[in-house]
Amino acid sequence: MSAITRDEVAHLARLSRLALSEDELDHYATQLDDIIGAVARVSEVATDDIPPSSHALPLTNVYRPDEVRPSLTPQEALAAAPAVEDDRFRVPRILGEEA
Amino acid sequence: MTTTQSVMPYDEALERFEPVLGLETHVELGTESKMFCGCSTAFGAPPNTHVCPVCLALPGALPVANDKAIESTIRIGLALNCTIAEWCRFARKNYFYPDMPKNYQISQYDEPLCSNGYLDVEVNGETVRIEIERVHLEEDTGKSTHVGGATGRIHGADYSIVDYNRAGIPLVEIVTKPIPGTDRLAPEVARAYVTELREVMRTLGVSDVRMEEGSLRCDVNVSLMPRGSAEWGTRTETKNVNSLRSVERAVRGEIERQAAILADGGKIVQETRHFHEDTGATTSGRSKEEAQDYRYFPEPDLLPIAPSPEWIAELRGELPELPGARRKRLQAEWGVSELDMAAMHNAGAIDLVEATVEAGVPAADARKWWMGELARRANESGRALAELPITPGQIARVVELVSSGALNDKLARQVLEGVLAGEGSPDEVVEARGLRIVNDEGELSSIIDQVLSANADAADKVRAGKIAAAGALVGGVMKASRGKADAARARELILEKLGVSE
């Protein structure tokens, strides 16, 4: 049984606003299934004496003091933006008319 | 796109249905710097001037948590009687929307920093316990402006422009458990909760909690079920509720709207709705296409939070006196009833009365002036009590002048009027308006003589032993002196002159 279905890949594509063709859906569904299968092999070596972890470092409570540091200038911040208007990042229409 | 909605009048809606509430409140913390980088959090800066590689999600930039924000969140949790997690993590909330440059928001998911607390609020002099589900820490989003289209809203806009100054400001989300059983007080309970929460935040000093600037924002969940039903109805979530009054209106409006749909045999759609400040109505927000699958997972760029029991105990020990406890203490100190206290709370008079008492005024007098004459004046001019241009110290001076006999209540009201009109301090107003009580015995005596001769009938009655008739004569003296006579002394002199005693 596959770890991820073609429908799930289509759903993820929509959440990520990626327009995938039917061929691409088949292609990526197979690829993602292989990737998930490979990663899942980790659970084969995980035993009860190995606690689940989300980080490679055995550290906790790493904080910075609440101090203001210099920011970028708007020119620097916006330098790589594809479109700019009124010192703001200009982005394409977010929602269509459907609602 | 706005269609006219039918609504059921509130009373009828409440006869047929019972509401269940839920409130999600976001509080921007008042830290100097952002949650995961050193950019300033100051409000109102020019666009994209408080941004850096971390909050713009430039490649390679990594977040580090702000220690003050962690501490503030724990203090909020303690003030709301929550359990503080011994170990918890941040989580990524993935969504494709340009208000966060990372395409995810760093938040907390199944491991909130604080959980299972409560906040007691007072409604109509009664205590209602609001259960708190969780308090977690996340980052605020950027601010989008939608350009084009008729309404300036996201629907129908041609494009949007985004300012990321706000992106990454620490944001605490406080979520209640469902609140059943409020019945027809639901709108008032919702408002009282947000009001109390705001006061707690202010007392803790963790946020400036300005609703108009968005540093405290509220989402209101409402569902209805038929009276007697055991099963809760489908809820809606109303966003963009940006004042205390709007919290109340949003609950009320949503009850009226849902009741009309349910009574008509319709179904409530579980959706996000937007509150419109101008009309008090809500409109449907997200369509089904945006129902999100956030794919939360533990944030790999940040390390777990594991506050030590010693630190938590220290923070607990340093908590200031919280608003509810303070009101109970002041109520006992002032010797007033629950209802009087609730009235002062609602009128925003507690701080003012307390400051006036601290200035040496007996509590009963402080309360009398703030809740009487000054409340009336505030009401007339449509202002909050605290906005009146008069200080507790000035009230204390007026009360002092009354108790020393230099003013009576009537003159004192005129002094207050003068102070409110910007004529200066109480003493300056007394001087400029010539308001001091006539305590020159010679002047008072001559006024009494005039009054006695002008009211010979009444004077005769008093001489004949009908002491009650003296009241009219005292009234005459007060009138002739334009309120400046000392009424008690005038009465003594009148009786003396007429050769009678009480």
Q: pLDDT value at position B332?
A: 96
- Residue A21 forms part of a structural domain: yes
User: Which positions in chain B touch A65 (Cβ < 8 Å)?
Assistant: 67-68
| Chain A residues near residue B153 by CB distance under 8 angstroms | none
Instruction: Select from A64, A76, A87, A98 the residue whose CB has the most chain B CBs within 10 Å, as the one to mutate to test that interface.
Output: A64
Work out how many domains chain A is built from and give that number. Answer: 1
Q: Given an 8 Å threshold on Cβ–Cβ distance, is B38 in contact with A55?
A: no
- Residue B399: count of CB within 10 angstroms of its CB: 22
Residue A83 lies in a domain: no
Both tokens of residue B59? 């490649």
Which of B35, B57, B38, B56 shows the shortest CA–CA distance to A74? Answer: B56
Q: Is position A35 within any domain?
A: yes
The domain of A37 spans 6-43
Q: Count the Cβ atoms, other than its own, within 10 Å of residue B143.
A: 16
What pLDDT score was predicted for residue B422? 92
Distance, CA of B389 to chain centre: 20
Q: How far is A23 from chain B (nearest CA, A)?
A: 23
Structural element, H or E, at residue B127? strand B126-139
At residue A99, does pLDDT exceed 50?
no
CATH of the domain at A38: 1.10.20
- Note whether A64 contacts B154, CB cutoff 8 Å: no
- Residue B484 confidence (pLDDT): 79
Nearest partner of B166 among B100, B256, B98, B264, judged by Cα: B100
Q: Residue B139 to residues A20, B35, B86: CA-CA distances in angstroms?
A: 32, 6, 21
**DSSP label at B238?**
E
Within a domain: residue A67? no
Is residue A18 situated within a structural domain?
yes
Determine, for residues B162 and A72 on separate chains, whether the beta-carbon distance falls below 8 Å.
no
pTM for the whole thing?
A: 0.83
Q: Please classify residue B266 by burial: count the beta carbons closer than 10 Å to its beta carbon, then call 0-12 exposed, 13-18 middle and 19+ buried.
A: exposed
Partner residue opposite B289 with nearest CB, options A65, A72, A98: A98
- The secondary structure of A1-67, three-state, reads CCCCCHHHHHHHHHHCCCCCCHHHHHHHHHHHHHHHHHHHCHHHHCCCCCCCCCCCCCCCCCEECCC
Q: Flag whether the ipTM exceeds 0.90.
A: no
The H or E element spanning position A92 is: strand A88-92
Which pLDDT tens digit goes with each residue over B199-213? 999 999 999 999 888
Residues of chain A with Cβ-Cβ distance to B158 below 8 Å are 93
* Cross-chain Cβ contact B98/A64 below 8 Å: no
- Across the interface, of B38, B69, B305, the residue whose CB is closest to A60 is B305
Helix B67-79 vs helix B186-204: angle between axes, to the nearest 10 degrees? 130
The mean pLDDT value for A25-48 works out to 89
Residues A29, A6: Cα–Cα separation, whole Å: 5
The verdict on a CB contact (< 8 Å) between B157 and A66 is no
Range 77-136 of B in CB contact (< 8 A) with A: 87, 89, 94-98
Interval B378-424: pLDDT, tens: 999 889 999 999 999 999 999 999 988 888 888 899 999 999 999 99
pLDDT of residue B258: 95
Query: pLDDT by residue (tens digit) across A53-72?
Result: 777 888 999 999 999 999 99
> How far does A14 lie from chain B, in Å, by closest CA?
9
Find which of B55, B158, B160, B299 to mutate to test the A interface (most A CBs within 10 Å of its CB). B160
In this prediction, the residues of chain B whose per-residue pLDDT falls under 70 are: 1-4, 150-153, 155, 286-292, 438-439
- The pLDDT of residue B439 is 64
* Per-residue model confidence (pLDDT) at position B2: 44
Right CATH for B441-497 from 3.40.50, 1.10.20, 1.10.3470, 1.10.10: 1.10.10
Q: Do A74 and B159 touch (CB under 8 A)?
A: no
Query: Hey, where are the domains in chain B?
Result: 10-315, 323-433, 441-497
SS3 state at B467: helix
Give the whole-angstrom CA distance, residue B107 versus residue B96.
Answer: 15
Rg of chain A in Å (alpha carbons): 22
Tell me if A19 is assigned to some domain.
yes
Distance CA B372, CA B356 (A): 14
With an 8 Å Cβ cutoff, are A66 and B305 in contact?
A: no
Find the mean pLDDT for residues A8-31. 91
Task: Say if CB A63 and CB B65 are below 8 A apart.
Answer: yes
Biggest CA pair distance of chain B: 103
Q: Is B134 exposed, middle or buried (0-12, 13-18, 19+ CB in 10 A)?
A: buried
| Token pair of B302 as six digits | 């940040």
Residue A75 contacts B, CB cutoff 8 Å: no
Segment A67-84 mean pLDDT: 96
Tokens linked to B128: 């209602």
The size of the A-B interface in CB pairs under 8 A is 145
